[in-house]
């Protein structure tokens, strides 16, 4: 089945090259797209107020796909483990929460190298604070799951393998303007408010925190 994908950028990208980009993206090195046109528009305009949405077709029924939004990997902990493994996390997290990071890696980290495509929720700077706060046990698993299950983050399609790169086809692009940059920052403001609300709610809640999971793991 051909899947239409969008990639927002300040450039028109007709030719894709495997191995280009940052290893510190959510799911490591790969080409990041979305099936949601509005998100492509926001990302195209977010830097300069003008930009492009590149459009591609991908025959995704040919691939080995890891879908982190569907069972059995739709547990938010698999998502957090991959983010903490791939993102350039702060030295504060590494120094102060080594047992939490080790617990996630040991129990939930998936080897994505055997897949062609990864489908998962995105965690831009607005939303990366949620898994960070979870690692610090500032928010509960229940709150993290609420964010994850809501799907507000938007799905990303990430091309990992050469096979995937060989089977994606550029079909065109269109320009985007300042309106979509405003949409991006409106979404960011909503994430800021939600984050503050969750911190307040969870300060005195009795939900499960990562430190509890670390203790449970140690007592097995």
Q: Where are the beta strands (DSSP E) in 41-105?
A: 51-59, 65-67
Closest CA to 62 of 172, 163, 205: 163
Per the DSSP assignment, residues forming a β-bridge with 168 are 58
Per the DSSP assignment, residues forming a β-bridge with 8 are 53
pLDDT tens sequence across 70-114: 999 999 999 999 999 999 999 999 999 999 999 999 999 999 999
Closest CA to 128 of 89, 156, 91: 89
What are the C-alpha distances in Å from 127 to residues 62, 171, 175, 195?
31, 31, 26, 8
Residue 11 to residue 47: CA distance in whole angstroms: 11
- Sign of the Cα torsion 164, 166, 170, 176 reads positive
Extract the tokens encoding 80: 């957090």
The whole-number pLDDT of residue 61 equals 76
pTM for this prediction: 0.91
The whole-number pLDDT of residue 169 equals 95
Cβ proximity of 82 and 112 under 8 Å: yes
pLDDT tens sequence across 117-165: 999 988 777 788 899 999 999 999 999 888 877 666 678 999 999 999 9
pLDDT band at 206 (very low <50, low <70, confident <90, very high): confident
pLDDT band at 1 (very low <50, low <70, confident <90, very high): confident
The whole-number pLDDT of residue 24 equals 92
Give the start-to-end residue ranges of the domains of the chain: 2-218
Antiparallel, parallel or unpaired: β 51-59 and 31-33 = unpaired
pLDDT tens sequence across 187-204: 888 888 888 888 898 988
Q: Is 83 exposed, middle or buried (0-12, 13-18, 19+ CB in 10 A)?
A: buried
The whole-number pLDDT of residue 124 equals 76
Closest CA to 45 of 158, 172, 175, 170: 175
């Amino acid at each position: 089945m051909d899947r239409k994908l969008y990639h927002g950028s300040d450039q028109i990208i007709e030719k894709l090259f495997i191995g280009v980009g940052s290893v510190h993206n959510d799911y490591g090195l790969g080409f990041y797209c979305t099936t949601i046109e509005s998100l492509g528009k926001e990302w195209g305009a977010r830097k300069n107020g003008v930009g492009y949405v590149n459009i591609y077709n991908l025959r995704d029924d040919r691939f080995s796909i890891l879908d982190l939004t569907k069972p059995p990997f739709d547990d938010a902990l698999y998502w957090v483990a991959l983010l903490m493994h791939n993102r350039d996390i702060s030295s504060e997290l590494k120094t102060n929460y080594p047992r939490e990071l080790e617990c996630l890696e040991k129990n939930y980290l998936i080897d994505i190298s055997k897949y062609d495509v990864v489908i998962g929720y995105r965690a831009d700077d607005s939303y990366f604070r949620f898994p960070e706060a979870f690692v610090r046990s500032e928010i509960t698993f229940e709150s993290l799951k609420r964010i994850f299950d809501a799907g507000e983050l938007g799905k990303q399609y990430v091309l990992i393998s050469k096979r995937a790169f060989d089977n994606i086809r550029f079909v065109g692009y269109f320009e985007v303007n300042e309106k979509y940059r405003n949409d991006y920052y409106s979404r960011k403001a909503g994430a800021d408010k939600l984050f503050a609300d969750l911190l307040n709610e969870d300060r005195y809640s009795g939900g499960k925190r990562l430190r509890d999971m670390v203790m449970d793991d140690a007592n097995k």
